[in-house]
Structure 1
Amino acid sequence: MDRPAVWIDVTASDASASRAFYGELFGWRIDVDEQLDYGLVDAGGSLAGGIGQAGDASPHPVGVVTYVPVEDVTAAVARAEEAGGSVLVEPWTLPGLGTMAVVGDPDGNRIGLWAAL
C-alpha cells in the first residue's frame, strides 16, 4: 500500500470515558488539551491519533475516522465526489501543519484526507 494511514481520530459521546477505555485497553498515554477537549494519543511509535468530544460545536459525529495522506486535499475531495462519494467535512487548515477534510464513500463510510505542509 503506497498510502498507509497516518492518523486515526475517535470522536466520542464521552471523550473522557473513551480516553480512559483506550488508555487501559492498549496502554496508550493520552495528553489532553483541556481547551479543545481533545486528547493526543502517544501509542509508542505506531499510528498517531486523537480522541475528541462529539457535540453541537463539532462537525464530527461519534465514530472513528482514519486519515490517509493525499497530495492535494481539494483535488482529492473532487475525486471523491466524482467517484460517487460526498463531502462530510469541508477542507480546513491546521496552521503550520496541513489541510484536512472528511469524505463519505458511496455507502456512507467516513474517510479522512490529509495533506501535510
Structure 2
Amino acid sequence: MANPAGSFIWYELMSPDPDASKAFYDAVVGWDIEPQPAGDLDYRMIRRSDGGNAGGVLRLDSAMQEHGARPAWLGYLFVDDVDQAVAGAAADGASTIMPPWSVPGIGRMAMIADPTGAPMYLMKPEAPAGQADATSDVFSVDQPQHVRWNELSSSDSDRALDFYSQHFGWRQEGAFDMGPAGPYRFLYHGDVRFGAVMGLMPHVPASRWTYFLGVDDIDRATAALNEGGGTVIAGPHQIPGGEYTVMATDPHGAAFGIVGPRKEGAAA
C-alpha cells in the first residue's frame, strides 16, 4: 500500500443493529451502507456516492458485548509490520486488546489501546491483485462523505503525543487554548494536518478517538441526526476557515462528529 506508515487507512463502526445504523448514517452523511453483508461475517461496506468506500460496519453480536465491546467508531493505522508494531507499542505502555491475526485477502491486523487507554487497530493490508500501489482515500481534509478530522481526547495528552510521535511518525505543531480543558494541539503526518489531541472533557469519561465525518450541509445533517434518534453533545460551532462542527452520539451511543459548511442564507 502506498499510504505512509502511521496514516489512517480505514474506519469501522461497531453496531448492534447495522440496518438501523444504515438508515441513520445514510441520512446524516449521504452514504449508502450495504444493506446486506457480503459474506458469512456480518460486515458491510460504507459506500460513498463517488463510488469509493468510507469504511465498514461490523455487527456487534451478543458474544462481543458479553466480552465488553460497545458501539463505537474505531480507526485503523497503517503499519509496515503489525507484529513488530504491537511489540513496540506494548513495550512503551500500550495494551494489546486483540493480538495480531491475519485474514486471507484482507491483511494482518491487531487491536491495541495506547498508554492512556484509547483503542485503535493496527493493520498491514493486502494490496488488491495488480494494484501494489493502491492507496486508501477514506480520510480527506476537505471532502464530504470522508472522515475529515481525527480527534484524540486523552487523560494524559503529553504521554499520548510522545507515544504517537515515537511509533507512528506524527508531529505536533500549533495549538489554541481551551481554558480549563487545556490546549487543543494539532497533529500532522508529513505535511497533512489530520487531527488534534486534547484533554478529557466532562462528557468524555475515558481516553478515546472521535472521528468527524464530512457532510455537505451542517444544518441539514444536524436535522437528520436529531430526526434519526442521535444526540447532539455540542455545536454547531464555527471553526477556523468558516465551517462548523457538531459532536454527537448515534442512536446506539457511538460517539462521532460531523463537519461541513453552513449553506448560504441559513440561520446562525
> Which of 35, 59, 64 is residue 53 of structure 1 equivalent to?
59
* Runs of 4+ displaced beyond 4 Å: none
Q: Where does residue 92 of structure 2 map in the other structure?
A: 83
**Residues 38 and 65 of structure 1: CA distance in aligned 2, closer, same or farther (over 3 Å):** same
Cα shift at 1:47: 6.4
Cα shift at 1:33: 0.8
Q: TM-score, normalised by structure 2?
A: 0.40
Q: Where does residue 109 of structure 2 map in the other structure?
A: 100
Task: Supply the distance in 2 between the matched residues of 1:26 and 1:113 (Cα, whole angstroms).
Answer: 26
Higher relative contact order (CA 8 A, sep 6+): 1
2:46/2:53 contact within 8 Å kept = no
RMSD of equivalent CA atoms: 2.3
> Which of 61, 64, 70 is residue 73 of structure 2 equivalent to?
64
> Which of 28, 32, 38 is residue 31 of structure 2 equivalent to?
28
Between 100-109 and 35-44, the greater mean CA deviation after superposition: 35-44
Cα shift at 1:107: 2.3
1:6/1:47 contact within 8 Å kept = no
Structure 1: give runs of 5+ residues left out of the alignment.
Answer: none
Cα shift at 1:46: 6.5
1:10/1:65 contact within 8 Å kept = yes
Deviation string 1:36-61 (CA, Å, 9 cap, x unpaired) is 22210112367631112112344754
1:19/1:39 contact within 8 Å kept = no
Structure 2: give runs of 5+ residues left out of the alignment.
Answer: 127-268
**Residues 50 and 89 of structure 1: CA distance in aligned 2, closer, same or farther (over 3 Å):** same
Task: Supply the distance in 1 between the matched residues of 2:18 and 2:116 (Cα, whole angstroms).
Answer: 26
**Residues 109 and 47 of structure 1: CA distance in aligned 2, closer, same or farther (over 3 Å):** farther
Deviation string 1:52-79 (CA, Å, 9 cap, x unpaired) is 2112344754211100100011111111
Specify the code of the residue in structure 1 equivalent to 2:59: Q
Q: What secondary structure, in the 3-state scheme, does the structure 2 residue paired with 1:87 have?
A: strand
Q: What secondary structure, in the 3-state scheme, does the structure 2 residue paired with 1:33 have?
A: coil
> Which of 105, 123, 126 is residue 114 of structure 1 equivalent to?
123
**Residues 80 and 64 of structure 1: CA distance in aligned 2, closer, same or farther (over 3 Å):** same
Specify the code of the residue in structure 2 equivalent to 1:26: V
Deviation string 1:57-111 (CA, Å, 9 cap, x unpaired) is 4475421110010001111111111111111112121202211111001222111
Q: Where does residue 45 of structure 2 map in the other structure?
A: 40
Q: What secondary structure, in the 3-state scheme, does the structure 1 residue paired with 2:122 have?
A: strand
2:45/2:53 contact within 8 Å kept = no
Specify the code of the residue in structure 1 equivalent to 2:46: V
